[in-house]
Amino acid sequence: MKVLRTGAILIVLTVFLVVVGGALGGRGGMAIALAIAVLINGVSYFFSDKIALRSSGAQPVTREQLPRLYDVMERLAAKATIPVPKLYVVPDMAPNAFATGRSPKHASVAVTQGLLQVMNDDELEGVIAHELSHVRNYDILTSSVAATIAGAITYMAQLGRWGMILGGGYGGRDDDRGGGGLSALLMLFLAPFAALLLQLFLSRTREYAADETGARMVGQPYGLISALEKLGAYNKRIPTSAIQPSTAALCIVKPMFGSGTLSSLFSTHPPLEDRIAALKQMVSTPMR
Protein backbone atom coordinates (compact mmCIF):
# COMPACT_ATOMS: atom_id res chain seq x y z
CA MET A 1 0.00 0.00 0.00
CA LYS A 2 2.82 2.41 0.89
CA VAL A 3 4.59 1.66 -2.41
CA LEU A 4 1.37 2.23 -4.37
CA ARG A 5 0.80 5.54 -2.62
CA THR A 6 4.30 6.73 -3.39
CA GLY A 7 3.97 5.53 -6.98
CA ALA A 8 0.77 7.54 -7.33
CA ILE A 9 2.57 10.64 -6.09
CA LEU A 10 5.34 10.19 -8.64
CA ILE A 11 2.77 9.80 -11.42
CA VAL A 12 1.01 12.99 -10.32
CA LEU A 13 4.37 14.79 -10.34
CA THR A 14 5.13 13.59 -13.87
CA VAL A 15 1.75 14.65 -15.23
CA PHE A 16 1.85 18.02 -13.50
CA LEU A 17 5.35 18.88 -14.68
CA VAL A 18 4.49 17.89 -18.26
CA VAL A 19 1.42 20.13 -18.17
CA VAL A 20 3.51 23.01 -16.79
CA GLY A 21 6.11 22.42 -19.50
CA GLY A 22 3.45 22.48 -22.17
CA ALA A 23 2.00 25.72 -20.83
CA LEU A 24 5.40 27.36 -20.80
CA GLY A 25 6.98 26.02 -23.98
CA GLY A 26 4.54 24.03 -26.11
CA ARG A 27 5.54 20.56 -27.26
CA GLY A 28 9.21 21.27 -26.75
CA GLY A 29 8.50 22.36 -23.22
CA MET A 30 6.51 19.19 -22.60
CA ALA A 31 9.43 17.03 -23.74
CA ILE A 32 11.87 18.92 -21.53
CA ALA A 33 9.46 18.73 -18.58
CA LEU A 34 9.04 14.97 -19.07
CA ALA A 35 12.81 14.49 -18.93
CA ILE A 36 12.99 16.66 -15.81
CA ALA A 37 10.14 14.69 -14.21
CA VAL A 38 11.89 11.36 -14.79
CA LEU A 39 15.07 12.77 -13.25
CA ILE A 40 13.25 14.22 -10.24
CA ASN A 41 11.36 10.96 -9.70
CA GLY A 42 14.62 9.05 -9.40
CA VAL A 43 16.24 11.69 -7.22
CA SER A 44 13.15 11.87 -4.98
CA TYR A 45 13.09 8.14 -4.34
CA PHE A 46 16.79 7.59 -3.67
CA PHE A 47 18.01 10.95 -2.34
CA SER A 48 15.02 12.79 -0.82
CA ASP A 49 16.30 12.09 2.70
CA LYS A 50 19.73 13.54 1.94
CA ILE A 51 18.14 16.59 0.33
CA ALA A 52 15.94 17.22 3.39
CA LEU A 53 18.86 16.82 5.80
CA ARG A 54 21.23 18.99 3.77
CA SER A 55 18.68 21.74 3.20
CA SER A 56 18.18 22.05 6.97
CA GLY A 57 21.90 21.97 7.74
CA ALA A 58 21.52 18.80 9.82
CA GLN A 59 24.77 17.35 11.17
CA PRO A 60 25.31 13.70 12.17
CA VAL A 61 25.99 13.07 15.85
CA THR A 62 27.58 10.17 17.71
CA ARG A 63 26.67 8.45 20.96
CA GLU A 64 29.61 10.18 22.64
CA GLN A 65 28.23 13.57 21.65
CA LEU A 66 24.59 12.96 22.64
CA PRO A 67 24.22 9.89 24.88
CA ARG A 68 20.81 11.08 26.12
CA LEU A 69 19.37 11.11 22.61
CA TYR A 70 20.93 7.76 21.72
CA ASP A 71 19.59 6.11 24.86
CA VAL A 72 16.03 7.17 24.08
CA MET A 73 16.33 6.27 20.40
CA GLU A 74 17.80 2.81 20.99
CA ARG A 75 15.24 1.92 23.64
CA LEU A 76 12.26 2.96 21.52
CA ALA A 77 13.64 1.46 18.31
CA ALA A 78 13.85 -1.88 20.13
CA LYS A 79 10.19 -1.50 21.17
CA ALA A 80 9.21 -0.68 17.59
CA THR A 81 11.34 -3.62 16.29
CA ILE A 82 13.10 -1.44 13.72
CA PRO A 83 16.80 -0.61 13.19
CA VAL A 84 18.12 2.45 15.03
CA PRO A 85 17.96 5.36 12.56
CA LYS A 86 20.91 7.64 11.90
CA LEU A 87 20.75 10.63 14.22
CA TYR A 88 21.23 14.27 13.23
CA VAL A 89 21.05 17.64 14.96
CA VAL A 90 19.83 20.76 13.17
CA PRO A 91 21.51 24.04 14.22
CA ASP A 92 18.23 25.80 14.98
CA MET A 93 16.94 27.19 18.26
CA ALA A 94 13.30 26.66 17.28
CA PRO A 95 12.41 23.26 18.80
CA ASN A 96 11.34 20.70 16.21
CA ALA A 97 12.12 17.23 14.85
CA PHE A 98 11.59 15.21 11.69
CA ALA A 99 12.23 11.76 10.25
CA THR A 100 13.19 11.04 6.66
CA GLY A 101 14.34 8.16 4.46
CA ARG A 102 12.84 5.53 2.15
CA SER A 103 12.50 2.63 4.62
CA PRO A 104 13.23 1.70 8.25
CA LYS A 105 16.61 0.37 7.10
CA HIS A 106 17.44 3.71 5.46
CA ALA A 107 15.95 6.11 7.99
CA SER A 108 17.27 9.23 9.69
CA VAL A 109 15.85 11.27 12.55
CA ALA A 110 16.86 14.89 13.06
CA VAL A 111 16.17 17.08 16.08
CA THR A 112 16.96 20.74 16.52
CA GLN A 113 19.27 22.13 19.16
CA GLY A 114 16.30 23.99 20.59
CA LEU A 115 14.34 20.77 21.08
CA LEU A 116 17.16 19.15 23.03
CA GLN A 117 17.39 22.20 25.28
CA VAL A 118 13.71 22.64 26.17
CA MET A 119 12.46 19.02 26.40
CA ASN A 120 12.67 16.98 29.58
CA ASP A 121 13.23 13.23 29.34
CA ASP A 122 9.54 12.28 29.11
CA GLU A 123 8.87 14.91 26.46
CA LEU A 124 11.91 13.89 24.41
CA GLU A 125 10.74 10.28 24.61
CA GLY A 126 7.31 11.31 23.30
CA VAL A 127 8.82 13.23 20.37
CA ILE A 128 11.17 10.40 19.40
CA ALA A 129 8.35 7.85 19.65
CA HIS A 130 6.28 10.00 17.29
CA GLU A 131 9.11 10.14 14.75
CA LEU A 132 9.82 6.40 15.01
CA SER A 133 6.12 5.78 14.36
CA HIS A 134 6.56 7.58 11.03
CA VAL A 135 9.54 5.35 10.32
CA ARG A 136 7.72 2.12 11.18
CA ASN A 137 4.61 3.17 9.21
CA TYR A 138 6.74 4.03 6.13
CA ASP A 139 5.42 7.60 6.26
CA ILE A 140 8.99 8.78 5.81
CA LEU A 141 9.15 7.53 2.22
CA THR A 142 5.96 9.27 1.13
CA SER A 143 6.58 12.50 3.01
CA SER A 144 10.23 12.74 1.94
CA VAL A 145 9.29 12.25 -1.71
CA ALA A 146 6.49 14.80 -1.33
CA ALA A 147 8.89 17.32 0.20
CA THR A 148 11.31 16.93 -2.70
CA ILE A 149 8.49 17.21 -5.23
CA ALA A 150 7.09 20.30 -3.54
CA GLY A 151 10.49 21.95 -3.59
CA ALA A 152 11.00 21.07 -7.27
CA ILE A 153 7.59 22.40 -8.33
CA THR A 154 8.05 25.63 -6.39
CA TYR A 155 11.57 26.06 -7.80
CA MET A 156 10.33 25.57 -11.37
CA ALA A 157 7.60 28.12 -10.76
CA GLN A 158 10.15 30.64 -9.52
CA LEU A 159 12.36 30.04 -12.57
CA GLY A 160 9.39 30.45 -14.87
CA ARG A 161 8.29 33.64 -13.14
CA TRP A 162 11.73 35.19 -13.50
CA GLY A 163 11.86 34.02 -17.10
CA MET A 164 8.60 35.82 -17.84
CA ILE A 165 9.84 38.98 -16.14
CA LEU A 166 13.19 39.02 -17.93
CA GLY A 167 12.13 37.53 -21.24
CA GLY A 168 8.72 39.00 -21.68
CA GLY A 169 6.83 35.71 -21.45
CA TYR A 170 6.94 32.31 -23.05
CA GLY A 171 5.36 31.04 -26.17
CA GLY A 172 6.04 28.93 -29.16
CA ARG A 173 4.57 27.83 -32.47
CA ASP A 174 2.56 25.15 -30.73
CA ASP A 175 0.82 27.62 -28.43
CA ASP A 176 -2.63 28.90 -29.25
CA ARG A 177 -2.45 32.56 -30.15
CA GLY A 178 -2.96 34.69 -27.12
CA GLY A 179 -3.51 31.69 -24.89
CA GLY A 180 0.01 30.49 -24.19
CA GLY A 181 0.99 33.47 -22.08
CA LEU A 182 -2.16 33.27 -19.98
CA SER A 183 -1.74 29.52 -19.44
CA ALA A 184 1.88 30.02 -18.44
CA LEU A 185 0.94 32.80 -16.05
CA LEU A 186 -1.74 30.67 -14.40
CA MET A 187 0.63 27.73 -14.06
CA LEU A 188 3.34 29.85 -12.46
CA PHE A 189 0.96 30.99 -9.75
CA LEU A 190 -0.78 27.65 -9.31
CA ALA A 191 2.41 25.55 -9.11
CA PRO A 192 3.34 26.56 -5.53
CA PHE A 193 -0.26 25.97 -4.46
CA ALA A 194 -0.15 22.52 -6.04
CA ALA A 195 3.05 21.71 -4.16
CA LEU A 196 1.46 22.84 -0.92
CA LEU A 197 -1.74 20.89 -1.51
CA LEU A 198 0.34 17.79 -2.19
CA GLN A 199 1.92 18.07 1.24
CA LEU A 200 -1.39 19.02 2.83
CA PHE A 201 -2.97 15.81 1.53
CA LEU A 202 -0.15 13.71 2.93
CA SER A 203 0.48 15.27 6.30
CA ARG A 204 -2.73 15.56 8.26
CA THR A 205 -3.96 12.01 8.76
CA ARG A 206 -0.49 10.58 9.30
CA GLU A 207 0.18 13.00 12.18
CA TYR A 208 -2.78 11.70 14.17
CA ALA A 209 -1.69 8.11 13.49
CA ALA A 210 1.92 8.82 14.54
CA ASP A 211 0.75 10.53 17.73
CA GLU A 212 -1.36 7.51 18.72
CA THR A 213 1.26 4.93 17.75
CA GLY A 214 3.99 6.89 19.54
CA ALA A 215 1.95 7.14 22.74
CA ARG A 216 1.26 3.39 22.70
CA MET A 217 4.94 2.72 22.03
CA VAL A 218 5.90 4.62 25.19
CA GLY A 219 2.97 3.27 27.20
CA GLN A 220 1.37 6.62 28.04
CA PRO A 221 0.53 9.85 26.18
CA TYR A 222 1.56 12.40 28.83
CA GLY A 223 5.10 13.02 27.57
CA LEU A 224 3.93 13.65 24.01
CA ILE A 225 1.05 15.84 25.19
CA SER A 226 3.46 18.01 27.18
CA ALA A 227 5.92 18.07 24.27
CA LEU A 228 3.26 19.22 21.78
CA GLU A 229 2.08 21.94 24.16
CA LYS A 230 5.64 23.16 24.59
CA LEU A 231 6.40 22.94 20.86
CA GLY A 232 3.30 24.95 20.04
CA ALA A 233 4.26 27.70 22.49
CA TYR A 234 7.89 27.96 21.38
CA ASN A 235 7.17 27.84 17.65
CA LYS A 236 4.85 30.81 17.98
CA ARG A 237 7.77 32.87 19.31
CA ILE A 238 10.89 31.53 17.63
CA PRO A 239 11.03 31.48 13.82
CA THR A 240 13.06 28.69 12.29
CA SER A 241 16.46 29.61 10.90
CA ALA A 242 17.20 26.31 9.15
CA ILE A 243 14.12 24.36 8.04
CA GLN A 244 12.85 25.19 4.56
CA PRO A 245 9.14 25.65 3.67
CA SER A 246 9.26 22.68 1.28
CA THR A 247 10.31 20.34 4.12
CA ALA A 248 7.98 21.78 6.77
CA ALA A 249 5.56 18.86 6.30
CA LEU A 250 8.22 16.49 7.66
CA CYS A 251 8.32 18.20 11.06
CA ILE A 252 6.41 17.13 14.16
CA VAL A 253 4.88 20.63 14.30
CA LYS A 254 4.71 23.27 11.59
CA PRO A 255 7.66 25.67 11.92
CA MET A 256 7.18 29.42 11.99
CA PHE A 257 8.98 31.24 9.21
CA GLY A 258 10.42 34.68 9.80
CA SER A 259 9.12 36.27 6.61
CA GLY A 260 5.86 35.83 4.76
CA THR A 261 5.99 32.73 2.61
CA LEU A 262 3.41 30.89 0.58
CA SER A 263 3.51 28.00 3.00
CA SER A 264 2.13 30.21 5.75
CA LEU A 265 -1.21 30.46 3.92
CA PHE A 266 -2.09 26.86 4.72
CA SER A 267 -1.12 24.41 7.44
CA THR A 268 0.34 21.04 6.51
CA HIS A 269 -0.43 19.81 10.03
CA PRO A 270 -3.67 19.34 11.96
CA PRO A 271 -4.32 21.92 14.68
CA LEU A 272 -2.21 21.15 17.75
CA GLU A 273 -5.29 21.54 19.93
CA ASP A 274 -6.99 18.69 18.07
CA ARG A 275 -3.92 16.45 18.27
CA ILE A 276 -3.59 17.08 22.01
CA ALA A 277 -7.32 16.44 22.54
CA ALA A 278 -7.04 13.12 20.68
CA LEU A 279 -4.11 12.09 22.90
CA LYS A 280 -5.99 13.05 26.06
CA GLN A 281 -8.83 10.77 25.01
CA MET A 282 -6.35 7.90 25.10
CA VAL A 283 -5.87 8.31 28.85
CA SER A 284 -9.02 6.29 29.52
CA THR A 285 -8.04 3.68 26.91
CA PRO A 286 -5.92 0.76 28.14
CA MET A 287 -2.41 0.91 26.71
CA ARG A 288 -0.82 -2.20 25.24
Active site residue ranges: 131
Q: How far apart are the first and last CA of the chain?
A: 25
**C-beta of residue 224 within 8 angstroms of C-beta of residue 215:** yes
Separation of alpha carbons 20 and 188, rounded Å: 8
Please state, in angstroms and as integers, the Cα–Cα distance from residue 3 to each residue in 15, 38, 171, following that order: 18, 17, 38
Q: How many helices (H) and strands (E) does the chain have?
A: 8, 4
Q: Can you tell me the distance from the alpha carbon of 68 to that of 56, in angstroms, rounded to the nearest whole number?
A: 22
At 103, is the secondary structure helix, strand, or coil?
coil
- Contact yes or no for 139/240 (Cβ under 8 A): no
CB burial of residue 50 (10 Å; 0-12, 13-18, 19+): middle
Q: How far apart are CA 129 and CA 89, in angstroms?
A: 17
Yes or no: say if 87 and 69 are a contact pair by the CB < 8 Å rule: yes
Assess contact for 77 and 83: CB atoms under 8 A. Answer: yes
